[in-house]
């Protein structure tokens, strides 16, 4: 252009070089801005929101991914699938249930129904306060069955209700609504049996307890006057209150049977809860913690098997990460057998066939930190862990030179 306008060759070259030198720094900010905008838009399409560029660089260098299980690697869509009792057939809630089975299941679930922080909203409350409406998705009784025809089927299928709270507790309320025939009946039971005191769930003790007046509504579960303590939690934690040491051979055998049944449910990938209760005098005061005592034995109500299937996307993500040389470790508070079953579906590897428990980590740490680091390095599935265990695992990996990330949707994952 310069030569066409009459400039000499030397002048034209000088102009071209000057424009080239000036254009690069002048246009660089706008070029980078446009490039970043395009990149952010592409990442947002994959549900990745970038708030800090150094964080993206660090994520690109990650060599180990630690993840919680529930809600992260699994769908967090929990449903009670099995109710297990001693000396009685298991109740499969996915199958056809007779009125007798429904009534028995309702009684067994009472400790889990009352010892529960989830909230049931019915009718106008559900419509006004709930972010979304929910109806029971458990199988409605067959209309051709003469015995079941008397159940309020229309109420079950058409009445709208919402359950707010932790998914584990929500699924128990969901099942109770279906078993009792209507949300109003469940709500009435909850209102008639308010808690007088409670011991909140703690990830270290792995149980929750509530105190209630012993009302006529609970007569099918327990008889007597006064109050009743309901307990819900991990089988090994709850059974410690039901079979405190030392126990008789008969009690030892019963406890072993319960633990065997719990392991059977866990082996199918289910989260397992134990429900128990104890009748206490009217003057009883619930303290800050329960202490196993032969004089204050609890009665096991049932075991509850809760299914929470792994996410299909998580299975693919684990495979992609492993193919890129990134190690994936699952750290959960669930039963070891449950953790191992889910880990197998996800394709997690390790030197052991069973998950490493938090108690085992504590024992190894007492021996030496080198042994602890070795156990953390060689195993990919950890169970019955506390927030402190998760933090120690991440610290161990960083100490060994790995760039480690931690993901999870609970406050117990925050320290790690």
CATH classification of the domain holding 156: 3.40.1110.10
CA distance 330 to 190: 36
The phi and psi torsions of 286 (rounded to 5 degrees) equal -80, 125
Q: Which of 10, 68, 92, 217 is catalytic?
A: 68
CA distance 278 to 350: 42
Q: What is the mean pLDDT of residues 224-228?
A: 90
CA R_g for the chain:
29
Between these two residues, 101 and 317, which has the higher pLDDT value? 317
> Beta strand pairing status for 299-307 and 79-84?
antiparallel
**Confidence at 328, pLDDT banded by 50, 70, 90:** very high
Are 231 and 212 within one domain? yes
Are 203 and 300 within one domain? yes
Residue 331, classed as helix, strand or coil, is strand
State residue 259's pLDDT score: 95
State residue 32's pLDDT score: 87
Are 253 and 187 within one domain? yes
Are 65 and 46 within one domain? no
Residue 285, classed as helix, strand or coil, is coil
Percent of the chain residues topping a pLDDT of 70? 91
Q: What is the mean pLDDT of residues 182-188?
A: 91
Between these two residues, 55 and 373, which has the higher pLDDT value? 373
Inter-residue contact 113 to 163 (CB < 8 Å) = no
Are 17 and 150 within one domain? no
Are 131 and 13 within one domain? no
Strands (E), 240-355: 271-280, 299-307, 327-331
State residue 126's pLDDT score: 63
Enter the pTM of the model.
Answer: 0.76
Are 263 and 392 within one domain? no
Of the three residues 245, 274, 307, the one that is the final residue of a domain is 307
Are 45 and 59 within one domain? no
Are 123 and 195 within one domain? yes
Is 68 noted as a catalytic residue in this protein? Answer: yes
**Confidence at 16, pLDDT banded by 50, 70, 90:** confident
| Pair of tokens at residue 33 | 């801005």
| Residue 374, number of CB atoms within 10 A of its CB | 15
Report how many domains make up the chain: 3
- Look at residue 141 and tell me whether its pLDDT is greater than 70: no
Q: Which domain holds residue 62?
A: 53-73+310-413
State residue 4's pLDDT score: 81
CA distance 371 to 106: 48
User: What CATH number is associated with residue 390?
Assistant: 3.40.50.1000
| Pair of tokens at residue 321 | 């990460």
The lowest-confidence range among 60-64, 246-250, 323-327 is 246-250
Strands (E), 85-190: 91-92, 119-122, 161-164
The average confidence (pLDDT) of the chain is 87
Are 385 and 298 within one domain? no
Are 334 and 276 within one domain? no
Whether the bond into 305 is cis, omega within 30 of 0 = no
Between these two residues, 93 and 6, which has the higher pLDDT value? 93
Are 41 and 177 within one domain? no
- Non-local CB neighbours of 64 within 8 Å, separated by 6+ positions: 326, 327, 328, 329, 397, 402, 403, 404, 405
Inter-residue contact 384 to 374 (CB < 8 Å) = no
| Residue 6, number of CB atoms within 10 A of its CB | 8
| Pair of tokens at residue 176 | 């109770």
């Amino acid at each position: 252009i310069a030569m066409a306008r009459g400039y000499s060759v030397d002048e034209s070259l000088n102009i071209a070089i000057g424009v080239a030198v000036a254009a690069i720094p002048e246009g660089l900010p706008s070029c980078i801005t446009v490039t970043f905008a395009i990149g952010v838009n592409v990442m947002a399409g994959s549900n990745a929101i970038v708030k800090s560029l150094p964080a993206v660089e660090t994520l690109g260098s990650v060599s180990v991914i630690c993840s919680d299980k529930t809600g992260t690697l699994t769908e967090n869509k929990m449903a009670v699938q099995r109710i297990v009792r001693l000396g009685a057939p298991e109740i499969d809630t996915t199958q056809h249930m007779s009125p007798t089975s429904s009534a028995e299941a309702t009684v067994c679930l009472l400790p889990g129904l009352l010892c529960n922080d989830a909230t049931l909203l019915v009718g106008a409350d559900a419509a006004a306060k709930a972010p979304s409406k929910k109806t029971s998705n458990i199988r409605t009784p067959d209309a051709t069955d003469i015995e079941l025809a008397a159940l309020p089927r229309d109420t079950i299928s058409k009445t709208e209700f919402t359950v707010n709270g932790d998914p584990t507790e929500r699924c128990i309320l969901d099942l109770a609504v279906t078993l009792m025939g209507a949300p109003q009946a469940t709500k009435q039971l909850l209102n008639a049996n308010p808690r007088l005191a409670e011991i909140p769930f703690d990830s270290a003790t792995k149980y929750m307890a509530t105190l209630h007046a012993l009302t006529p509504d609970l007569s099918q579960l327990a008889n007597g006057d006064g109050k009743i303590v309901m307990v819900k939690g991990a089988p090994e934690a709850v059974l410690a209150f039901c079979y405190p040491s030392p126990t008789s051979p008969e009690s030892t055998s019963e406890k072993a049977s319960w633990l065997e049944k719990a392991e059977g449910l866990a082996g199918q990938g289910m989260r397992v809860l134990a429900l128990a209760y104890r009748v206490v005098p009217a003057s009883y005061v619930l303290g800050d913690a329960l202490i196993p005592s032969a004089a204050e034995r609890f009665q096991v109500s049932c075991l509850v098997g809760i299914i929470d299937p792994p996410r299909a996307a998580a299975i693919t993500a684990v495979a992609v990460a492993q193919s890129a040389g990134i190690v994936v470790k699952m750290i959960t508070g669930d039963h070891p057998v449950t953790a191992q079953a889910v880990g197998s579906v996800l394709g997690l590897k390790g030197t052991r066939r069973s998950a490493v428990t938090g108690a085992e980590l504590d024992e190894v740490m007492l021996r030496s930190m080198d042994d602890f680091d070795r156990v953390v390095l060689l195993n990919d599935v950890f169970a019955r862990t506390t927030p402190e265990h998760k933090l120690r695992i991440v610290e161990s990996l960083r100490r060994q030179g790995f760039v480690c990330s931690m993901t999870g949707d609970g406050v117990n994952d925050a320290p790690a």
